[in-house]
Chain A
């Protein structure tokens, strides 16, 4: 019996993490930000290990599935959370603020996302997505000042209503049409008959809901607002984790619903909008967190555009493309954790002017990761672009290809503004000493970035094969 449920260990450990943190918060008198960081590090780490070890053990219940595919995405999310939490801990230590809420909510998001990825029951999916969204909203409030709290509440209410309508509408619609909550029966329904108008509306509603969670345009506003308002740990956490989980869920839904033609249009429109708004937004924003949220929007848009092809190989390649982006954006957030002035983390592009003069390594990090975003060789981003182009050439989507690369030049403009500020502008302020962990984080990330490109033959072939296997055996 226990063996049967052992694959639920990651979720259980994450849930235990929440309970332990709560107990520590209630009963331990001496609490520092480091306390919760250590607890979460332990539990997320063990959850990660259990996720990898029991990657092929399934519960064999029809409401939950554990496959290499789900294990892989859960592992990626957990690794990202681990890195993000580590640097967030430094942030709370420097700010001398309680980290309990952050780690508690962060863990709750992880549990719900793991459930959302592994579940094969619509109700569980709905609950997990709902919890993620609500907790995400709450998490974004860390760092709010009193004046902004009222406005934030109003905005959150509006976003919550929209999200709720899509989520409930989508799930109810699908249940109404298929008369089942379970994925296997829904799969059979959509693969045996042509989907009707109401089917399409229900599917679109659920897919849009996931896109909403990922912050894909035209539902990107809440993400941009979070980036502006939220503290650096919350902004980075949500920016890294939600889109990753969103991609995993979206891929499952595409396979589940047999992706009717009308849904393609939704993907195409949302993808194009995201690419355009992301590329233009990068150049128009002054807030660093918002700039990189826009960069994220651009890349999410590309993934959505690739999904619009509904080709198995392209979907696989989009996963590789996303992972490459994830490595670069992780590097960028590590850089942001290294930019401080008198204990305050700097968020405006004007604040970091002339930073290269005194913080050359952090500045180099920003330069390298920005270059990687643009696919400048010999960085990892170039391999991402190679994957993208090869995929789109195979399915003869030349117009999409040209569109993406034209928009890439707009993105380049935005990133050049950042580089200009860091390297060419006169220095206005002094900067605090950079934490050593930031340097280590940057060093490891940059080495990985260069190492993969120096000898991609073996690594690349293995990654492609691995992702291919995940998709063929997992979903």
Chain B
């Protein structure tokens, strides 16, 4: 990893910048195609959902704690709490779950 970490960063930053820059500099028209627009609309939801689950289950020390954190975050997010609040709720739930699990036989 040591040798090429900066190349990884260069690739990440380069691709991300090009995606943002090219339409701003080149385009003078709006995308009209409804399927293309819909696809771009759904992209963040599909990608964030895929990254979140099941990864959240194995992020803490135990699967059970991960599941508790997931459930707590779902409830907080359902009630439309801010990003920061949902994150804090999830962290606290995992923290409490791990303390409880430590006492189980």
A binds B: no
List chain B positions with a Cβ less than 8 A from chain A: none
